[in-house]
Structure 1
Amino acid sequence: MTQAAPILLLLLLSVTFLQSGYDKIKDWKGNVSWLKGHFSETILAKQVPLALFTILILEIFSGVLCVSGIIELFTKTSSQVAYYGAILSCLTLIFLLFGQRIAKDYDGARTIVIYFVPAIMAVYILS
Protein backbone atom coordinates (compact mmCIF):
# COMPACT_ATOMS: atom_id res chain seq x y z
CA MET A 1 0.00 0.00 0.00
CA THR A 2 1.72 3.15 -1.19
CA GLN A 3 -0.91 5.46 0.32
CA ALA A 4 -0.52 4.42 3.97
CA ALA A 5 0.79 7.77 5.24
CA PRO A 6 -1.92 9.97 3.71
CA ILE A 7 -4.63 7.48 4.68
CA LEU A 8 -3.47 7.45 8.31
CA LEU A 9 -3.23 11.24 8.40
CA LEU A 10 -6.71 11.59 6.89
CA LEU A 11 -8.01 9.04 9.40
CA LEU A 12 -6.60 11.12 12.26
CA LEU A 13 -8.26 14.26 10.88
CA SER A 14 -11.55 12.41 10.25
CA VAL A 15 -11.76 11.11 13.80
CA THR A 16 -10.77 14.48 15.24
CA PHE A 17 -13.33 16.54 13.33
CA LEU A 18 -16.25 14.13 13.21
CA GLN A 19 -16.02 13.41 16.93
CA SER A 20 -15.76 17.12 17.70
CA GLY A 21 -18.71 17.91 15.45
CA TYR A 22 -20.75 15.14 17.05
CA ASP A 23 -19.94 16.52 20.51
CA LYS A 24 -21.08 20.00 19.46
CA ILE A 25 -24.38 18.64 18.14
CA LYS A 26 -24.97 16.35 21.14
CA ASP A 27 -24.29 19.06 23.74
CA TRP A 28 -24.99 22.29 21.87
CA LYS A 29 -26.30 24.18 24.93
CA GLY A 30 -23.40 23.09 27.11
CA ASN A 31 -20.87 24.11 24.47
CA VAL A 32 -22.51 27.51 23.93
CA SER A 33 -22.64 28.11 27.67
CA TRP A 34 -18.98 27.21 28.21
CA LEU A 35 -17.82 29.21 25.20
CA LYS A 36 -19.77 32.31 26.27
CA GLY A 37 -17.65 32.31 29.41
CA HIS A 38 -14.48 31.52 27.48
CA PHE A 39 -15.02 34.46 25.09
CA SER A 40 -16.76 36.83 27.54
CA GLU A 41 -13.96 39.41 27.43
CA THR A 42 -13.39 39.27 23.65
CA ILE A 43 -14.82 40.68 20.44
CA LEU A 44 -16.51 37.30 19.94
CA ALA A 45 -18.56 37.53 23.16
CA LYS A 46 -21.85 38.24 21.36
CA GLN A 47 -21.10 35.96 18.40
CA VAL A 48 -20.60 32.65 20.21
CA PRO A 49 -23.57 30.71 18.77
CA LEU A 50 -22.78 31.85 15.21
CA ALA A 51 -19.06 31.17 15.64
CA LEU A 52 -19.79 27.72 17.08
CA PHE A 53 -22.14 26.92 14.21
CA THR A 54 -19.50 28.03 11.71
CA ILE A 55 -16.89 25.81 13.37
CA LEU A 56 -19.38 22.92 13.47
CA ILE A 57 -19.98 23.19 9.71
CA LEU A 58 -16.24 23.42 9.01
CA GLU A 59 -15.52 20.39 11.19
CA ILE A 60 -18.25 18.25 9.64
CA PHE A 61 -17.20 19.13 6.10
CA SER A 62 -13.54 18.56 6.95
CA GLY A 63 -14.29 15.15 8.45
CA VAL A 64 -16.54 14.08 5.59
CA LEU A 65 -14.02 15.20 2.97
CA CYS A 66 -11.25 13.31 4.78
CA VAL A 67 -13.35 10.12 4.93
CA SER A 68 -14.23 10.56 1.26
CA GLY A 69 -10.55 11.09 0.54
CA ILE A 70 -9.67 7.83 2.27
CA ILE A 71 -12.23 6.02 0.13
CA GLU A 72 -10.85 7.78 -2.94
CA LEU A 73 -7.30 6.69 -2.14
CA PHE A 74 -8.43 3.08 -1.74
CA THR A 75 -10.46 3.01 -4.93
CA LYS A 76 -8.81 5.41 -7.41
CA THR A 77 -5.46 6.77 -8.41
CA SER A 78 -6.68 10.32 -7.80
CA SER A 79 -6.26 12.15 -4.50
CA GLN A 80 -8.14 15.37 -5.21
CA VAL A 81 -10.87 14.95 -2.59
CA ALA A 82 -8.27 13.85 -0.03
CA TYR A 83 -6.24 16.98 -0.81
CA TYR A 84 -9.27 19.23 -0.38
CA GLY A 85 -10.08 17.48 2.90
CA ALA A 86 -6.56 18.16 4.17
CA ILE A 87 -6.74 21.81 3.04
CA LEU A 88 -10.12 22.36 4.71
CA SER A 89 -8.81 20.67 7.86
CA CYS A 90 -5.95 23.17 7.97
CA LEU A 91 -8.33 26.09 7.48
CA THR A 92 -10.63 24.76 10.21
CA LEU A 93 -7.68 24.49 12.59
CA ILE A 94 -6.63 28.05 11.75
CA PHE A 95 -10.14 29.26 12.65
CA LEU A 96 -9.92 27.36 15.94
CA LEU A 97 -6.44 28.76 16.58
CA PHE A 98 -7.72 32.28 15.93
CA GLY A 99 -10.44 31.81 18.54
CA GLN A 100 -8.03 30.48 21.14
CA ARG A 101 -5.61 33.35 20.54
CA ILE A 102 -8.45 35.91 20.81
CA ALA A 103 -9.47 34.30 24.12
CA LYS A 104 -5.81 34.38 25.23
CA ASP A 105 -5.98 30.62 25.82
CA TYR A 106 -2.39 29.93 24.85
CA ASP A 107 -2.44 26.31 26.08
CA GLY A 108 -5.49 25.68 23.91
CA ALA A 109 -3.77 27.35 20.97
CA ARG A 110 -0.71 25.15 21.47
CA THR A 111 -2.92 22.07 21.38
CA ILE A 112 -4.42 23.16 18.06
CA VAL A 113 -0.94 23.56 16.59
CA ILE A 114 -0.26 19.93 17.53
CA TYR A 115 -3.18 18.96 15.25
CA PHE A 116 -2.04 21.40 12.56
CA VAL A 117 1.28 19.58 12.06
CA PRO A 118 -0.25 16.33 10.75
CA ALA A 119 -2.85 18.32 8.78
CA ILE A 120 -0.17 20.28 6.93
CA MET A 121 1.80 17.06 6.42
CA ALA A 122 -1.28 15.60 4.72
CA VAL A 123 -1.50 18.64 2.45
CA TYR A 124 2.17 18.29 1.57
CA ILE A 125 1.99 14.56 0.88
CA LEU A 126 -1.18 14.89 -1.19
CA SER A 127 -0.02 17.87 -3.26
Structure 2
Amino acid sequence: MNNIASILILVFLAITFLQSSQDKLFNWKDNIDWLKEHFAETPLRNQVPLALVNVLILELISGILCVVGAIEIAVNSGRIYGLYGAIFSCITLIMLLFGQRLAKDYDGARTIVLYFIPSVMAVYWLN
Protein backbone atom coordinates (compact mmCIF):
# COMPACT_ATOMS: atom_id res chain seq x y z
CA MET A 1 0.00 0.00 0.00
CA ASN A 2 2.25 2.78 -1.25
CA ASN A 3 -0.64 5.19 -1.72
CA ILE A 4 -2.55 4.82 1.53
CA ALA A 5 -2.44 8.57 2.31
CA SER A 6 -3.99 9.36 -1.07
CA ILE A 7 -6.67 6.73 -0.56
CA LEU A 8 -7.50 8.07 2.90
CA ILE A 9 -7.85 11.64 1.65
CA LEU A 10 -10.01 10.52 -1.27
CA VAL A 11 -12.27 8.58 1.09
CA PHE A 12 -12.46 11.64 3.35
CA LEU A 13 -13.45 13.85 0.39
CA ALA A 14 -15.91 11.25 -0.91
CA ILE A 15 -17.67 11.06 2.45
CA THR A 16 -17.70 14.84 2.75
CA PHE A 17 -19.20 15.53 -0.67
CA LEU A 18 -21.53 12.54 -0.96
CA GLN A 19 -23.04 13.21 2.47
CA SER A 20 -23.40 16.90 1.67
CA SER A 21 -25.08 16.20 -1.67
CA GLN A 22 -27.35 13.63 -0.03
CA ASP A 23 -28.40 16.27 2.50
CA LYS A 24 -29.13 18.76 -0.27
CA LEU A 25 -31.22 16.22 -2.19
CA PHE A 26 -33.30 15.01 0.75
CA ASN A 27 -33.63 18.36 2.54
CA TRP A 28 -33.94 20.61 -0.50
CA LYS A 29 -36.56 22.99 0.87
CA ASP A 30 -34.80 23.45 4.22
CA ASN A 31 -31.53 24.18 2.42
CA ILE A 32 -33.18 26.67 0.06
CA ASP A 33 -34.90 28.46 2.95
CA TRP A 34 -31.68 28.72 4.95
CA LEU A 35 -29.61 29.82 1.97
CA LYS A 36 -32.10 32.48 0.89
CA GLU A 37 -31.73 34.04 4.32
CA HIS A 38 -27.95 33.52 4.30
CA PHE A 39 -27.55 35.28 0.93
CA ALA A 40 -30.34 37.87 1.39
CA GLU A 41 -27.91 40.80 1.33
CA THR A 42 -25.77 39.55 -1.56
CA PRO A 43 -26.01 39.58 -5.36
CA LEU A 44 -26.88 35.85 -5.14
CA ARG A 45 -30.17 36.51 -3.31
CA ASN A 46 -32.27 35.78 -6.42
CA GLN A 47 -30.07 32.93 -7.65
CA VAL A 48 -30.11 30.61 -4.63
CA PRO A 49 -31.86 27.60 -6.24
CA LEU A 50 -29.63 27.73 -9.32
CA ALA A 51 -26.51 28.14 -7.18
CA LEU A 52 -27.56 25.19 -5.02
CA VAL A 53 -28.10 23.00 -8.10
CA ASN A 54 -24.60 23.94 -9.32
CA VAL A 55 -23.02 23.11 -5.97
CA LEU A 56 -25.01 19.86 -5.74
CA ILE A 57 -23.80 18.73 -9.17
CA LEU A 58 -20.18 19.60 -8.36
CA GLU A 59 -20.40 17.79 -5.02
CA LEU A 60 -21.80 14.67 -6.67
CA ILE A 61 -19.10 14.71 -9.35
CA SER A 62 -16.39 15.28 -6.72
CA GLY A 63 -17.66 12.53 -4.43
CA ILE A 64 -18.13 9.94 -7.18
CA LEU A 65 -14.72 10.65 -8.72
CA CYS A 66 -13.09 10.35 -5.28
CA VAL A 67 -14.75 6.96 -4.66
CA VAL A 68 -13.71 5.69 -8.09
CA GLY A 69 -10.24 7.17 -7.59
CA ALA A 70 -9.74 5.45 -4.23
CA ILE A 71 -10.79 2.14 -5.77
CA GLU A 72 -8.56 2.71 -8.79
CA ILE A 73 -5.53 3.36 -6.59
CA ALA A 74 -6.24 0.29 -4.44
CA VAL A 75 -6.80 -2.00 -7.42
CA ASN A 76 -4.15 -0.98 -9.93
CA SER A 77 -2.30 2.08 -8.56
CA GLY A 78 -3.98 4.27 -11.17
CA ARG A 79 -4.29 7.93 -10.28
CA ILE A 80 -6.38 9.66 -12.93
CA TYR A 81 -9.84 9.44 -11.32
CA GLY A 82 -8.44 10.37 -7.93
CA LEU A 83 -6.68 13.37 -9.43
CA TYR A 84 -9.88 14.51 -11.13
CA GLY A 85 -11.80 13.94 -7.90
CA ALA A 86 -9.31 16.06 -5.97
CA ILE A 87 -9.40 18.81 -8.61
CA PHE A 88 -13.21 18.87 -8.64
CA SER A 89 -13.14 18.93 -4.83
CA CYS A 90 -10.91 22.00 -4.92
CA ILE A 91 -13.15 23.73 -7.45
CA THR A 92 -16.24 22.94 -5.38
CA LEU A 93 -14.61 24.25 -2.21
CA ILE A 94 -13.47 27.43 -3.96
CA MET A 95 -17.06 28.04 -5.07
CA LEU A 96 -18.30 27.45 -1.52
CA LEU A 97 -15.59 29.74 -0.15
CA PHE A 98 -16.61 32.47 -2.60
CA GLY A 99 -20.21 32.20 -1.42
CA GLN A 100 -19.26 32.35 2.24
CA ARG A 101 -17.06 35.38 1.70
CA LEU A 102 -19.78 37.07 -0.33
CA ALA A 103 -22.24 36.47 2.52
CA LYS A 104 -19.59 37.78 4.96
CA ASP A 105 -19.70 34.48 6.85
CA TYR A 106 -16.04 34.47 7.76
CA ASP A 107 -16.33 31.57 10.23
CA GLY A 108 -17.94 29.47 7.49
CA ALA A 109 -15.20 30.48 5.08
CA ARG A 110 -12.55 29.52 7.62
CA THR A 111 -14.13 26.09 7.98
CA ILE A 112 -13.95 25.52 4.21
CA VAL A 113 -10.19 26.07 4.36
CA LEU A 114 -9.94 22.99 6.61
CA TYR A 115 -11.37 20.91 3.76
CA PHE A 116 -9.37 22.71 1.10
CA ILE A 117 -5.97 21.79 2.58
CA PRO A 118 -6.34 18.00 2.17
CA SER A 119 -7.91 18.55 -1.26
CA VAL A 120 -4.84 20.44 -2.45
CA MET A 121 -2.60 17.80 -0.86
CA ALA A 122 -4.44 15.14 -2.87
CA VAL A 123 -3.99 17.13 -6.09
CA TYR A 124 -0.27 17.44 -5.33
CA TRP A 125 0.21 13.75 -4.46
CA LEU A 126 -1.84 12.42 -7.35
CA ASN A 127 -0.43 14.72 -10.01
Q: 1:14 is aligned with what amino acid?
A: A
**Aligned twin of 2:19:** 19
Q: 2:29 is aligned with what amino acid?
A: K
**Aligned twin of 1:65:** 65
Residue 99 in 1 paired to residue 105 in 2?
no
**Aligned twin of 2:3:** 3
Residue 117 in 1 paired to residue 117 in 2?
yes
CA-CA distance at 1:77 after TM superposition: 2.8
CA-CA distance at 1:34 after TM superposition: 0.3
1:35-54 to 2 correspondence within 5 Å? 35-54=35-54
Instruction: After superposing the two structures, state which structure 1 stretch, 68-77 or 88-97, moved more.
Output: 68-77
Unmatched runs of 5 consecutive residues or more in structure 1: none
Structure 1 counterpart SS, 2:40: coil
RMSD: 0.5
**Structure-1 separation of matches of 2:82 and 2:12:** 13
Output one character per residue of 1:64-116: Cα deviation in whole Å (capped at 9) or x when no partner: 00000011001113201110000000000000000000000000000000100
**Structure-1 separation of matches of 2:126 and 2:82:** 7
Moved over 2 A (4+): none
The count of residues paired between Structure 1 and Structure 2 equals 127
Unmatched runs of 5 consecutive residues or more in structure 2: none
Q: TM-score, normalised by structure 2?
A: 0.99
**Structure-2 separation of matches of 1:65 and 1:96:** 19
